[in-house]
Amino acid sequence: MFARQAALDRPDDTARLAEITCPTLVVAAAQDRLRTVEESRVLQVGIAGSRLIVVEHCGHLIPLEQPDQLAASIEELARAL
């Protein structure tokens, strides 16, 4: 399954990020070996008004590795709305 997912052609849609107008939280993991923090910064910069958090001591599976920190970040965004 992983090999099939990794082999998928994924066109670059970053030019469309400006179309996102809803409140957006971009979540990155500091030790993610599949997606870099810099990739997440590209999303955050491209989505006006979005917020980026970087979860430390965490790899690609943020909900499993740092669920409390993820939940707290989502709750904080929700309270700000």
Which pLDDT belongs to residue 12?
86
pLDDT, mean of each 10-residue run, the chain (81 residues): 78 92 96 94 96 95 96 93 84
Which pLDDT belongs to residue 7?
80
Class of domain 20-80: alpha beta
| CB contact at 8 A, 69 and 43 | no
C-alpha 43: how far from chain center: 8
Name 47's Cβ contacts closer than 8 Å, sequence gap at least 6. 17, 18, 20, 24, 26
